Amino acid sequence: MKRSLIFLALFVTSLGLHAQTDTTKKSKGKSNSADSLMNAMGGTEKEEHVVSAFKATRLIISQTAETVKKNNLNFLVIHRFGDIAGDVGGGKTAFGLDAVNDVYIGFEYGLSDNLNVDLGRSTVGQLIELGLKYAVVHQTSDGSSPVAITLFGDYGVRAYQNFPSYGDRVSYLAQAIFSHKFGSDFSLLASPVFISDNTPMPNVPGNENNLFAITAAAKLKVTKHMGIVVDYAHPFSSFRTGANGFSDPLGFGIEVETGGHVFTLNVSNSRSASEITSLSASQADYGRGQYRLGFTISRMFDFNHKSSYK
């Protein structure tokens, strides 16, 4: 109960803050589908003041500081294949393509330009997640705000596994996301994260219920519609060490904007697409061949009904 109150207090506090006002320029020409996608995010480079550091709300492991605008729906599909190498990889599984480690299906809806509600389900742990994401501060092109700050909270329930009680099924995540765009080509984010599992994941002797972690990610723009991304996370835990079979999640990828989609093709040692599971129970190691192909597809739908026809 105490953790629930802390979780709710995070959002009550965040909603009391004033996000910096965004001013949008109206384009005189026609906009293409790529423009529509960017306009659906919490900040776009077509806006007069707000700087958008990333093109999507999710990278490989981490949340970004971007939000979905009011009355827009972001549909997410995150897929993790099987191990490329190691004991269960190789040619017998087409280097992991015949296997599936995790599939995440999620929806992110903009209640306002700065406040999103998220709903998703992942295969690993059969975890159902309900989250809130609030953009507190936006980075601005005039330098008045050098960073973007976004708060994110997640409530996860392992609905279909056997637990003694409902409370034992529940996990919580709370994080603050700080991002900055350097010039036009390089973006960086860092995020302190707190995770609380009512049942330790994995549920083995000595594992902690609560842990802090930090995620960090970078994107280097290569062309107008493509960039290289690196995503890393480190849990601070005396139990989650290499000696106990744990490894820090690390991913590399190529992010491509294709019209109304953002598509990320990546390689990572993270078997889970969920931050809760990935940070709590990452037990795959590059050195053992336990890395895999994955992808994220982000598709935006606009329900503002502002389209006009000549």
**Average pLDDT estimate for 147-153:** 97
Using pLDDT thresholds of 50, 70 and 90, give the confidence band for residue 2.
Answer: very low
Q: Whole-model pTM above 0.75?
A: yes
Q: What is the pLDDT of residues 176-221, one digit of tens each?
A: 999 999 988 999 999 999 999 999 988 888 899 999 999 999 999 9
Q: What is the CA radius of gyration of the chain?
A: 19
Give the domain extent around 171.
36-302
- Whole-number pLDDT of residue 306: 60
Share of the chain above pLDDT 90, in %: 65
Residue 184: count of CB within 10 angstroms of its CB: 9
Please indicate, yes or no, if residue 27 is contained in any of the structural domains: no
Is 23 among the domain residues?
A: no
The pLDDT assigned to 41 comes to 55
Nearest to 158 by CA among 271, 274, 246, 244: 274
Looking at the 3D structure of the chain, how many domains does it have?
Answer: 1
Greater model confidence, 48 or 266: 266
Instruction: Indicate whether 30 belongs to any domain.
Output: no
Distance CA 182, CA 203 (A): 42
Tell me the C-alpha distance between 229 and 220, whole Å.
Answer: 7
Cβ distance 257 to 226 under 8 Å? Answer: yes
- Summarize the confidence of residues 130-146 as an average pLDDT: 93
Domain CATH number, residue 143? 2.40.160.40
The predicted model gives 134-163 an average pLDDT of: 92
**In-domain check, residue 1:** no
For the segment 101-126, what is each residue's pLDDT rounded down to a tens digit?
Answer: 999 999 999 999 999 999 999 998 89
Q: Is residue 9 part of a domain?
A: no
Q: How far is CA 178 from CA 53, 89, 95, 205, 222, in A?
A: 10, 37, 36, 35, 23
Helices (H) and strands (E) counted in the chain, each on its own, are 3, 12
